[in-house]
Structure formats: C-alpha cells, structure tokens
Structure 1
C-alpha cells in the first residue's frame, strides 16, 4: 500500500476531530476566533515538529525560494478563508451537512491542480471523484423541509458558502503541494514540515493583524479560552502535517478525494457525539462516497 494512503486517512480522522472541537469552541467565541485557534495555537506545535525532525531525526531542512514563498502565502490565505467559511457554515445546518457542502473540494482540487500545476488524473479516477461528489450532493439535500428540490438545495445560501469553502480549500491544497515541490533539498517529511511552519506562521501573523485592527474583543475571548483552543491547535496542526506529507507524495486530487473518508468519521460524530438524526439519503450518500473511495484506491494502487 502506498504510504500516502494511511497518512491521508489519519489526516482525515484528525481533521474531523479538529472540526468537532472547533464547533464546540464556536459556542464560546465567534467564527474569527475559532478560525484563529486552529492556526495561532497550532503554530508553536508546528515549530516543535520541525525542530524534532532536525534535532532528533537528523533531517536536512531545505532552504526556501521565491516560488515557495508566493505559493505558501497564497495557500495560507486561501486556507484561512476556507476555514472561516466552514466554521461560519456550522451555524446554518447540522454538523454533518454543514461539512458535506465543503466536500466538493476534490473535484475543484482536480481542476485547480490541472490549471496551476498541470497535473492530470485518469478518467476512472475522475469518475470516482465525481461519484464521491454526488454522494456529497445526496447528503447536502437530505432532510430539507418540504422535500426541497436539488436545484433549490444547490442555490441555497448554505450551498454557496460551502462550495466557496471547498474552492478555497482546493486552492490552498494545490498551492501547498506546489510550495513543497518547489523545495530542492530535504526529504518528504522535511519539505512538508517546512511548508507547514511557513504556512501556519503566515496565517497566524495575518489573523493577528486583522483581529488587532478589526476585532480586539475577540482576541480577549480567545485568550480566555486558551485551554480548549490549544487542543484545537494541536489536533489541527497534526492533521495539517499529515495532509502536507501526503500531498508532497501524491497528487492533490487523489489525496483530497481519499480525504472524503472524513465524512464517514463525521457521520459517526454526528450520530454518536452530537446525537443528531441522520436521514436515509445521507446514509446513501455516505455509501456512495465509500464506493468512490474504493474505486479511487483501485486506480491509485
């Protein structure tokens, strides 16, 4: 089994856990504060990770270049916007459906990967990605009052926010892979860790400046909730470390498509943690996502 597969599954599990923790954190602060917790409290752990690779692991850390800096900055800002929209989306519908809207990302990542990096995928793999996206569509329209049509669901406010979130996530993933591949030295872990540190550092700085200028009260709120925010940061940066490593090893479209397995973890969280009711159509969507993932793994291996 290629190494990127278990790393991606681990990343998806950790990302689901981080989203669950962020949702709870949002009850104590606004969307901006919950978004900042992921980056601001994750940055110190990212630094510790790369220091451990250097001192303990003896890894050769690569030097950065202009291409890397542009790509990592673009990816970092795109990820801030994507995370903010996702956290904001949690307030509209239940946890699972809110997350599902953003999971159009793999299709968008495949398109952005082609446009930005020139990476192509097989037609069978693209079909598997589309199957997963259709499963997401089933989840997104399930349980809407009055049997709302697919058209109404796709053009709802929640759909627009979720699709925008998925687009920014797709752009950020492609930019991070481009940044990592632009590094000329170091192994996979060192290049991924370097990208992670620079990305979270830029994100922390940008959000601190923004909140300092626009929402100082939120900074106070975040500081008071530092304990749960620290956990969000730790889990978030752990997930990012896995994502960055997987995307250094494999094309973004494959990694993010397999990452749809997060919805299966989300399904379990929604049922067993948040005690939310899941419609049959949502269950059918999950099964279709699983079928798409299995097909994708067949083409990747």
Structure 2
C-alpha cells in the first residue's frame, strides 16, 4: 500500500468541503444542473493541466489507454453522475439531511463490494474504523434534528433514505471502478495514473452533462458562461479534490480512503464553530469523536 493514500484522502476531504461551500453559494445564480456542470466543465482544464505538469516533470509518456481502461472509466463517470442525481432526488423528497446522511454509508458499501467481488480483505480493525466513521456521520446529520433511534430506524423506509442509500451505492461503485481503471495504466506511477484517469472521467462527464443541457436546458448553459469567475473556483477545487481521491483509490483500498476522507465533516463543523461562532452541541461532539476515532482505527489497521 503506497503511503501517499493518507495525505491524499485528508486533502480530498478538505477540498471537497471547500468546494461544497462555494458550490452552495453558486446555487443562488445557477440551477442544480448548472451547479453540477461547472464541477466537470470548469474542472476539466485544471485536471488536464495537472496531468500534463506531472507527466512532464516525471519525463513520462502518456500510457496506452486500452478498451478495459475506457470501459472502467465510463462506469466510474456514469455511476458518479447517477449517485449525484439520486442524492438530488433525495433532496426533492424534503430529505436533504436524511439523504445526505445515508449517502455517507458509501464507505461501508465500498468495503462490501470490494470484499465480495475483488477479494479485497480488510483487517477487523479497519472494519471497526469504517463502522465508527459512518456512525459518526449519521449522528452528526440525524441527531441534530432531534430524532430518536426509533425514528432514525423508521426513516430507513422513507424515499429520501432509500435514494440516499442508492446514491451511496453508486458512489461506492464509482470508487471501485476508478480504482480498477487506474490499475489498467502501465508505465506510469500512482499519481500519474490517477491524474490521467481523472482527465478521461471528467471529459466523459462534461460531454454527457453538456449534451443533456444543450438538449433540455440551454438557458442554464448561458448562465454557466456568465458565472465563469465563481464557476472556475468550483472547477479548480473539484479538480484538486478529485485528484486527491483518485490518487487515494489508486494507492489503497477504496473503503479506507473514503473513511479517512470523512474528515470533511470535521473541517465543515470546525469552520462553523471557529469562524461563525456557533456553539458546540452534544451530538456534534459525539459524532466528531466517532469520525476521528474511525480514522484512527483505519490508520492503525494499516
């Protein structure tokens, strides 16, 4: 296991939290679809620049892109987009918090998928860390609404929870597909394979999303162009975050990368407390302890 996976996972969580904050502000000017498009369309030039700079600095040639690589990249691109659509659908059922919370079961689902289909076995300590991290995220998201354990269990049958779980499944499949795609690239190092894969996946996502908007919502396309300054910032952070995630996937089990990347919620809540001066509530303390504990257990297992 390449040790680069750890800083990559931590920075992936940081950049994702930062990007989400900027993207939420951009939602005042763009539709949901438009805010999603800028991640890919404005992120692609940055991803391409990262790949060219890295390969150039390493004096490495572009590796052959075979059919298996293309197929796995397409699966990663489509499942990631499907996960986003399912998550947005969960929001439409008045279940923003519930949908987001259950989508964070992605780490557990990724561990199950890789164990069942790829034979990727994790130590018991790693499983404990994954479960603790997911439990922490659920507590942070759901306990803040004053829900009891009985009410949380009952919410599993709600459309928002089901769509959230579906989103988590799609994100888990995307992580596994991307990991397998990076493994198909020969003659290039871990970071190089991650960056090349990122460029291909983002290009596919940009083409698919752009085609849909041109066919169905051309007004959004004009708005995406008008907001290029803000959108470019979102694109940069999206490319940085995805570069970190892809590097982590290439270097370590996807489930470990995702559970460590859950420090994203720590960054988000820390910003709320230290910058916005919001008080600390009991469920946030418990949830943060579980998330951090999960990260520590995952690290100890390696």
* C-alpha displacement of 1:194: 1.0
Aligned residue for 2:204?
Answer: 202
Give the unaligned 5+ runs of structure 2: none
> The residue matched to 1:55 in structure 2 has which SS?
helix
Per the alignment, do residues 203 and 94 of structure 1 end up closer, same or farther by CA in structure 2, a change over 3 Å counting? closer
* C-alpha displacement of 1:271: 4.0
Superposed CA RMSD in Å reads 2.4
In 1: Cα distance, 2:294 partner to 2:259 partner? 9
In 2: Cα distance, 1:57 partner to 1:90 partner? 44
Which piece of structure 1 moves more, 138-147 or 75-84? Answer: 138-147
Aligned residue for 1:280?
Answer: 282
Cα deviation per residue 1:174-210 (whole Å; 9 max; x = unaligned)? 1000000112221112211110110000000000111
* C-alpha displacement of 1:153: 3.4
* C-alpha displacement of 1:124: 2.0
Q: Does 1:228 align with 2:230?
A: yes
Compute the TM-score of the two structures, normalised by the length of structure 1. Answer: 0.90
Aligned residue for 2:22?
Answer: 21
* C-alpha displacement of 1:67: 1.0
Matched-pair contact (CA < 8 Å) for 2:125–2:300: no
Cα deviation per residue 1:202-248 (whole Å; 9 max; x = unaligned)? 00000011111111121112111111111000000011111111111
* C-alpha displacement of 1:25: 1.3
In 2: Cα distance, 1:60 partner to 1:31 partner? 38
Give the unaligned 5+ runs of structure 1: none
Aligned residue for 2:141?
Answer: 140
Matched-pair contact (CA < 8 Å) for 2:105–2:165: yes
Alignment of 1:153-172 (within 5 A): 153-172=155-174
In 2: Cα distance, 1:273 partner to 1:194 partner? 37
| Aligned with residue 255 of structure 1, among 243, 254, 257 | 257
Compute the TM-score of the two structures, normalised by the length of structure 2. Answer: 0.90
Which piece of structure 1 moves more, 197-206 or 155-164? Answer: 155-164
Which piece of structure 1 moves more, 150-159 or 213-222? Answer: 150-159
> The residue matched to 2:128 in structure 1 has which SS?
helix
Q: How many residues in Structure 1 have an aligned counterpart in Structure 2?
A: 299
In 1: Cα distance, 2:253 partner to 2:132 partner? 19
* C-alpha displacement of 1:98: 6.4
* C-alpha displacement of 1:31: 1.3
